[in-house]
Amino acid sequence: KQEVTQIPAALSVPEGENLVLNCSFTDSAIYNLQWFRQDPGKGLTSLLLIQSSQREQTSGRLNASLDKSSGRSTLYIAASQPGDSATYLCAPGRPGTASKLTFGTGTRLQVTL
Amino acid sequence: DAGITQSPRHKVTETGTPVTLRCHQTENHRYMYWYRQDPGHGLRLIHYSYGVKDTDKGEVSDGYSVSRSKTEDFLLTLESATSSQTSVYFCAISLRDVTYEQYFGPGTRLTVT
């Protein structure tokens, strides 16, 4: 059974800092991995998807890397802004029908002025 | 915007009553999913569908059933609601069948008293 751990559980940084969120998973036989953000009381917003054959994906100030063999992914946020404050979730997808996702419990990020 | 709506958005019900939650999509995507989100557990997959009348169980399917009679609608039924089913329920769709990138609806907050 896939287990997903996200460290740290919570993080507070001043505006402008670059930061790294970590995700580890126990079963390296994944099809893909998705990063999401969730604002309080809201649904999930997809940020980046990395296929198992890829090493990284970039979107704006976000960069996600994947090391499948070691069961790790990182989300790098450059020049953080108060609007980045949210909970960030990683979810590796299983091979097979529908690529079912297993979620970590997330990293709660606060970016202060 | 992946065109996903969920209804109702909030519901309070009594123990032992049946409850049906609806997920509706406007863009004819093949894969649909139901998750629940609870503090300390993250999101967990309940059931998913890979086509009309094609469904399968997820990680926490006990006490839940689903139906998909049309491509656009995926229904989740709690046959006899219990307090342990108090949760936030999210529907998701897979936007692209090859990458299986998932997009989420706004959620339904269900309270069972």
Q: What does the pLDDT profile of chain B (113 residues) look like in tens digits? A: 568 999 999 999 999 999 999 999 998 899 999 999 998 888 999 999 999 999 999 999 999 999 999 999 999 999 999 999 999 999 999 976 677 899 999 999 999 99
Is residue A95 very low, low, confident or very high in pLDDT (cuts 50, 70, 90)?
Answer: confident
Quick check: B77 and B11 in contact, CB under 8 A? Answer: no
Q: What is the DSSP letter of B26?
A: S
Hey, are the CB atoms on A98 and B33 less than 8 Å from each other? yes
Residues B10, B108: Cα–Cα separation, whole Å: 5
Hey, are the CB atoms on B33 and A32 less than 8 Å from each other? no
pLDDT confidence of residue B1: 59
Using CA coordinates, name the residue in chain B closest to A32.
B99
Hey, are the CB atoms on A104 and B42 less than 8 Å from each other? yes
Pairing relationship of beta strands B108-112 and B87-94 according to DSSP bridges: antiparallel
Using CA coordinates, name the residue in chain B closest to A43.
B106
Quick check: B109 and B88 in contact, CB under 8 A? Answer: yes
- Residue contacts between A and B (CB atoms, under 8 Å): 59
Burial of residue B30 (CB within 10 Å: 0-12, 13-18, 19+) is: middle
B3 touches chain A (CB under 8 A): no
Nearest-by-Cβ selection for A98 from B48, B59, B104: B48
Least confident among A32-46, A89-103, B17-31: A89-103
pLDDT confidence of residue B19: 97
Is residue A88 very low, low, confident or very high in pLDDT (cuts 50, 70, 90)?
Answer: very high
Whether residue A98 has pLDDT greater than 80 = no
A104 touches chain B (CB under 8 A): yes
Pairing relationship of beta strands B42-51 and B54-57 according to DSSP bridges: antiparallel
| CB contacts, 8 Å: A106 with chain B | 42
CA distance B2 to chain A (A): 11
Using CA coordinates, name the residue in chain B closest to A88.
B42
Residues A45, A32: Cα–Cα separation, whole Å: 17
Write out the two tokens for A37.
Answer: 């953000």
| CB contacts, 8 Å: A89 with chain B | 42-43
Distances in Å between the alpha carbon of A53 and those of A73, A97, B96, B102? 13, 18, 17, 18
Residues B90, B107: Cα–Cα separation, whole Å: 4
Using CA coordinates, name the residue in chain A closest to B105.
A43
Quick check: B87 and B10 in contact, CB under 8 A? Answer: no
Distances in Å between the alpha carbon of A58 and those of A50, A63, A108, B58, B77? 10, 4, 21, 31, 39
Quick check: B37 and B26 in contact, CB under 8 A? Answer: no
Separation of CA B93 from chain center: 10
Distances in Å between the alpha carbon of A83 and those of A6, B48, B106? 21, 33, 19
